[in-house]
Amino acid sequence: MEKQQTLAMVLIGLIFVVWLYINSPEPQPQTPNQADSTLVDTQKQPVPAEPKHVEQTETPKVTVPTILDSSVVSAPERIINIENDLVKLELTTKGAKVKRYFIKKYKTWYSKDLGEDAPYYKTMVQLVNTRFEGGDLNQTFITKKGEKIETSALNFNVDKSGYSYKLTGEDSLSITFSVSFGENSSITKTYTFRGDNYQSKVNFGFNNMQNIVAGSSYDVSWEHGINFVEKNSVDEANYSNASLYAGEEHLKVNASDVDEKEKKDVGGIVDWMSVKSKYFAVLLSPDNPNSEWHSYIVGTKTKDNVVGDREYYSLTYSVPFTGMKKQNTEFSLFIGPVDYEVLAAYDKSYEAIYDFGSFMGLSFIIRPISEYVLLPLFKFLHSFIPNYGVVILLVAFLVKMLLYPLTKQSYKSMKKMQLLQPKMKEIKEKFKDDPQKQQQETMKLYKVYGINPMGGCLPMFAQMPILIALFYLFNVAIDLRNQPFVLWIDNLAAPDVIAELPFRLPIFGVSAISGLAITLGVVMFIQQSMTAKDPSQKALVYIMPVMLTVLFMSFPSGVNLYYLMFNLLTIIQQWMINKSKDGAELVPLDPKDQKPGFFSKLMQQAEETRKVQQKQQNKKRR
């Protein structure tokens, strides 16, 4: 997790701790942004040592093979346009690469300012990083003459004469690019597209290349990551990473340090590799890998004062070259949104890249809550409520109602502890010179009134996984991207800016004023004012809301809207519970019902252990 998200979780947790501290009794005196290698196969075999990989930079520079004519490099580029129900894309004969890839459903953050007549290439999100060689998906191999061949530098012939194709529904189209190496030797790259799919098939062919290709393998690479498309590139970089999936295990590479490479080398069967930004992803999946394959991810992070933070990842499969006259290796190439339902529909565990959160190693709790409860609820509500802002408010209400029994129990328990304070102070004063007697009398007091001193803490901490899961979900849900709510809130996936600052606050990285964050801060102040009773704790009433207000300035408005509604409901619940005296009176239990609770039993066991140790010490002294 990146710094801002970590800071947010820490502060939110701190509010719970402070709130519990304010309402708890005084403590009683105690007696003295691309890692190890793993070989994984479909049978989940143990992992042997890392494969030794020679990086491409260690091989000779790209040259035109002596058996090729110079026109293979210098020939003019030809662009082929393909459109289906979901995307518009361009293939180029220069390297037989994907040159540009536009997603129809998702618009650029500035598209509203361009008007309805703006061309698609200015309004649709484009996912191929064009800052380098104008496209991606490359083959690399070494010839027997020691020449390094990168197909991105070669001009391919193509088997289609047209320049534009449109597919729909179950339509399909195959396009084959080829380069001849003389005397029936050639390499081919065949793309197969469908009319209703983000995923295409790519077949890499070697024909009579056994006398040209040196070594026992060649590389297939997606080299330049994914194009950054959001206004807030820092936030986008925070959620960017690369990963691989093998043996039902998902392994991530996150280039979090500027200008330092992060690497992962894996030998054996890898189901797929991916590179993702906050909302979009590229996944490259071999159809029939075997244990002789190697897979490599390399990631770097850059900081630029003009374009902002960027993370670049390369995905490389080292494919065994068999030396046969004909060798074909097929891959699935997905380029599209990080939408859980879309990814899951491919039945390849693509949905593993969906970031449900892993705060403090609690992903095993947080992910199931989000994946099987909160996200389905979110989708269900939107099926009949078109405004996502209203959906968020309704989710906050439903979650608050779900947690109400825990909240009520927590408030009642802490209310009883507050009422018990005078009696506890009497015990402390009466036995001020005998800490052990203080403990014993305090435990008796808890037993008489049937109070668990941890009763106020446990229900509140039980809520934390749900709140953390919602925080992550509203941060990464592509459904909220560019979705308006009301008034100035025109994008629930971005901060609702009402004014720009002429500077950036350090640590928090805030450079604009958020209307929802300010409103949320006011509500937090009211909530803390209702909770804090001790005059010495009044400073917390001001400090915590101010800190969280500044932090939440940079958060998506969907997140702030949720917490605003949640806190308003918390204030209402707190007022209702405080007004009601149901179960909050300090009434002694019937002696028959006075059973020691867990805390009392724990203290009793500790006291018994202490007595045994004391007896042993007395025997030794004799």
| Assigned token pair, 169 | 């529904």
Number of other residues whose CB lies within 10 A of the CB of residue 137:
24
Identify which has the larger pLDDT, 158 or 25. Answer: 158
Helices and strands, counts by H and E, the chain:
14, 22
Mean predicted confidence (pLDDT) in 489-501: 85
Alpha-carbon gap, residue 255 to 302, rounded angstroms: 9
pLDDT at 89 over 90: yes
Categorize the per-residue pLDDT at 450 as very low, low, confident or very high, splitting at 50, 70 and 90: low
Mean predicted confidence (pLDDT) in 499-520: 77
Categorize the per-residue pLDDT at 92 as very low, low, confident or very high, splitting at 50, 70 and 90: very high
Encode pLDDT of 522-534 as tens digits: 888 887 776 655 5
pLDDT at 277 over 50: yes
User: What pLDDT was estimated at residue 103?
Assistant: 96
CA atoms within 13 A on the CB side of 64: 12
Quote the DSSP letter at residue 156.
Answer: P
Among residues 237, 204, 230, which one has the least CA distance to residue 218? 204
User: What pLDDT was estimated at residue 365?
Assistant: 83
Encode pLDDT of 162-218 as tens digits: 889 999 999 999 999 999 887 788 999 999 999 999 999 999 999 999 888 888 899
Q: Can you spell out the DSSP letters for 282-311?
A: EEEEESS--TT-EEEEEEEEEEETTTEEEE
Instruction: Give the neighbor-by-neighbor strand order of the sheet with 97-107.
Output: 124-126, 97-107, 87-92, 79-83, 164-166
What phi, psi does 259 have (nearest 5°)? Answer: 65, 20
pLDDT at 535 over 80: no
pLDDT at 113 over 70: yes
Q: Is the dihedral of CA 530, 534, 535, 536 positive or negative?
A: negative
The burial class, CB within 10 Å (0-12 / 13-18 / 19+), for 354 is buried
Mean pLDDT of all residues belonging to the chain: 78
User: What pLDDT was estimated at residue 14?
Assistant: 52
The helix/strand/coil state of 38 is: coil
pLDDT at 105 over 90: yes
Alpha-carbon gap, residue 466 to 470, rounded angstroms: 6
Residue 83 near residue 167 (C-beta atoms within 8 A): yes
326: left (phi over 0), alpha (psi -120 to 50) or beta: beta
Residue 69 near residue 154 (C-beta atoms within 8 A): no
Rg (CA), the chain: 31
Among residues 321, 311, 281, 315, which one has the least CA distance to residue 296? 315
Alpha-carbon gap, residue 322 to 302, rounded angstroms: 39
Mean predicted confidence (pLDDT) in 269-297: 93
Among residues 303, 383, 313, 387, which one has the least CA distance to residue 353? 313
User: What pLDDT was estimated at residue 72?
Assistant: 64
Encode pLDDT of 5-54 as tens digits: 555 555 555 554 444 444 443 434 433 333 333 333 333 333 333 333 43
pLDDT at 230 over 80: yes
Residue 149 near residue 112 (C-beta atoms within 8 A): no
Encode pLDDT of 404-414 as tens digits: 777 777 777 77
User: What pLDDT was estimated at residue 20?
Assistant: 43
Cα of first residue to Cα of last residue in the chain, in angstroms, is 59
Number of other residues whose CB lies within 10 A of the CB of residue 327:
19
| Assigned token pair, 18 | 């402070």
Alpha-carbon gap, residue 332 to 315, rounded angstroms: 14
Quote the DSSP letter at residue 321.
Answer: P
361: left (phi over 0), alpha (psi -120 to 50) or beta: left
The helix/strand/coil state of 372 is: helix
Identify which has the larger pLDDT, 83 or 432. Answer: 83
